[in-house]
Structure 1
């Protein structure tokens, strides 16, 4: 449609388009850039919605601004997060910081156990990490604010952390040493708390923010209703410095904060062309994610990720909520040493650690199995989803003192089953995680051993 404007003092009718007119290929090019820019937000909102905005859903954890702990590690039944870790029982909180900040309490814990609160903005950038690496294990109260908050900080707050977006997520990881250690982890999780600042400080609560009709989202709606979701989320995500061109792209497509998409001024032809973009561009992002081999340059702070829109999208697709490299380094194995896809239907594989090549960490390491199509943990007859450093004493060594892990669908036999990481009977990948990696892992002096195909 066209907007009609009368100029004062004339009788002429001037017709002005409210959004630019593009050739078909121009629309698709602009929409492609807009999709890559907004994809991490929409992907992030999918998890937030399932965790905090869909009561009764299979993945629901609790209301907004409520910290909920899961006193177990992840299994194949957990499907809201792709490529999840199964080393550390999780605690979660989805923040709505529009009205006031939230105070999160981390309890003091023993010195040899790792824990962290990963604070992630709506764009999927890692903003901060209260916990072992940054603050030690002494615990404390951390004030989490929305962008530009200028209120009074009460006594007792250890640090103030400003989130760049009003919708955000926090993920707490608590190291589990063994199955016998779960009781202690539950005690620690009981000490994690979240409360609104007014409740913490005993002050009057501010006015409630405007009510939100939270848009439903699912994997299917991320295709069929993508642009409406992207437009909806802009109200929670102020533009970063340097994002001006991306926001101009969105405006060209009538994707604006506070405006329902598609607007009346967007032609049906443009709407139809834009709806073709998500499928093709999501495949492009998947292909980019499939080429990733480690996490050293794909997760980080807003400053670190500035301008890296495709990298951020690929990281969100391949392993959303991955840690900043100083917190954890991920080595992604999708191919064997001969550059052939890992396939549990046709292949059997080994990964060998010599005593000198064990992953160098100050916390712990693990190797976790995922099926490639769904990017989730793999159900198997022994309920083993990973092998980690806490299991070293139970792993068998060969006559050279090496630990040989067996990655295959069928058991390698009773004598070797302790070293078996079960694979699906299909294409798979594994991720090696190094929590608090040492300098030699970060600067390349340590190199991860390859996965070898058995003849």
Structure 2
């Protein structure tokens, strides 16, 4: 049967369309040859599917670690810091949930709670579950330096209370949880926070050899209580505890178990919701971590991620830090989307201040790039004392455990309050940093070092613009031959 004229016309039109489409596709393919695109030639096989699952899980696992490490760290830390031993040492700041804990002695090498602890201030800690606003009342410290950081569960410092930010007069500050609707009494300053658990981390300055009794009397005047108990003179904090984290003994993916717990119990920032939704592919949701839903390839990818992600986090300092006279200069303010940096700070530098409050240049190497080691002797020369509004100090830490260094003279730092610091007529001074006692004119400035690897932190509280702007030259380090 021969097609009618109409049918023939339609078939011709279809053929023309097919021919035109083929020519269009051929032209595009010809153009694509200049831009290699393996996605267009990828072949799906059982082997490639298995490999893709491992790779996808690895990539998401690294990202989940970078993003979620602060949450896991905080969930663990707040349980540690609310677990008060019966024989609590004087250097400890642990306290029961919703209560203030103060250290009543300066940190020593025996104080193991906080890595890179300073020897300038008495620390304060309070973990608060905001079932309602809590009011922190602070006394008049008569210009004595103190600061209290209000950290959310992401290790973001959302507020500062203290000498620089709010002054040293007496005051009341309400920690207001997300979604709370109500009215605060007159004279109470609201501090809105983004998670319903917060960590108050404080410091009060103690000068070297200063009597501690007046400082302890000040500490006793800091008060924390629920808003509903603000006017109750007989208020006594209830004994409360946090539920234990899920056991992860023997689980190679225990980090993700704890991250899954955090996703269940902590608010997720709106800006992070789309990111967190991606983690569903590796069993991480707001219902927790579903390890049973994962294939062997995905589990292998997550294990590899947990091996590599800490290295990525550790190296993140190189993306923002600069070198100033051999010191790593790391300005900390708003982390933004730099999740690896936030994770780094939440680890060994937990509780660190932003640069406007304090700056912490770190030194790991000598002028030749070799690690600082107690087998060598060093001299650190300041052209002048750091221009700060509060105080400064130079402290040595063991590289292995990030703790203060035990030494025969029990000196862990040299700073603005070091008695007998030898200074030249032009205002410069040199600090010998070595394991054995030095000789010479600067021996009174000796900062003892361990026998092995160590690093230095130069703390400058309330740094002046000369420091923040880079005009102040950081001290020079010289290896003594």
Name the TM tier (shorter chain).
0.7 to 0.9
Question: Where do residues 20-59 of structure 1 align in structure 2 (5 Å cutoff)?
Answer: 22-53=52-83
Aligned to 2:146: 115
Closer, same or farther in 2 for the Cα pair 1:332/1:162, shift >3 Å? same
Residues 269-312 of structure 1: CA deviation (Å, up to 9, x unaligned)? 42343133223211332243488555653x33xxx222111111
Aligned to 1:64: 97
Closer, same or farther in 2 for the Cα pair 1:171/1:394, shift >3 Å? same
The answer on 1:140 being equivalent to 2:171 is yes
**Per-residue deviation at 1:254?**
1.7
Residues 378-433 of structure 1: CA deviation (Å, up to 9, x unaligned)? 11111111111011x51123576531101111111486442111111111111011
Contact 2:117–2:404 (CA<8 Å) still a contact in 1?
A: yes
Aligned to 1:17: none
* Matched residue SS, 2:390: coil
Aligned to 2:428: 402
Question: Where do residues 217-236 of structure 1 align in structure 2 (5 Å cutoff)?
Answer: 225-236=254-265
Residues 322-362 of structure 1: CA deviation (Å, up to 9, x unaligned)? 101110011111122232221113x11111123xx311101
**Per-residue deviation at 1:129?**
0.6
Residue range with higher mean Cα deviation, 26-35 or 308-317 = 308-317
The answer on 1:188 being equivalent to 2:218 is yes
**Per-residue deviation at 1:50?**
1.1
Closer, same or farther in 2 for the Cα pair 1:399/1:439, shift >3 Å? closer
Closer, same or farther in 2 for the Cα pair 1:274/1:160, shift >3 Å? same
Find the aligned partners of 2:247 and 2:127 in 1 and give their Cα distance.
16
Larger Rg: 2
Aligned to 2:470: 444
Normalising to structure 1: TM-score of the pair?
0.84
Match of 1:341 among 371, 377, 390: 371
Number of equivalent positions: 419
Closer, same or farther in 2 for the Cα pair 1:194/1:424, shift >3 Å? same
**Per-residue deviation at 1:21?**
10
Aligned to 1:243: 272
Structure 2: 5+ residue stretches without partners: 1-49, 322-326
Closer, same or farther in 2 for the Cα pair 1:269/1:55, shift >3 Å? farther
Structure 1: 5+ residue stretches without partners: 1-19
Aligned to 2:135: 103
Contact 1:102–1:145 (CA<8 Å) still a contact in 2?
A: yes
Find the aligned partners of 1:336 and 1:104 in 2 and give their Cα distance.
45
Aligned to 1:364: 391
Aligned to 1:275: 303
**Per-residue deviation at 1:451?**
1.5
Contact 2:97–2:241 (CA<8 Å) still a contact in 1?
A: no
The answer on 1:418 being equivalent to 2:448 is no
Contact 2:148–2:161 (CA<8 Å) still a contact in 1?
A: yes
Over aligned residue pairs, what C-alpha RMSD do you find? Answer: 2.9
Closer, same or farther in 2 for the Cα pair 1:60/1:264, shift >3 Å? farther
Contact 1:37–1:246 (CA<8 Å) still a contact in 2?
A: no
**Per-residue deviation at 1:443?**
0.8
Aligned to 1:168: 198
The answer on 1:379 being equivalent to 2:379 is no
Match of 1:130 among 161, 177, 180: 161
Find the aligned partners of 1:333 and 1:223 in 2 and give their Cα distance.
34
* Matched residue SS, 1:133: coil
Find the aligned partners of 1:21 and 1:446 in 2 and give their Cα distance.
53
**Per-residue deviation at 1:53?**
4.1
Aligned to 2:35: none
**Per-residue deviation at 1:202?**
5.4
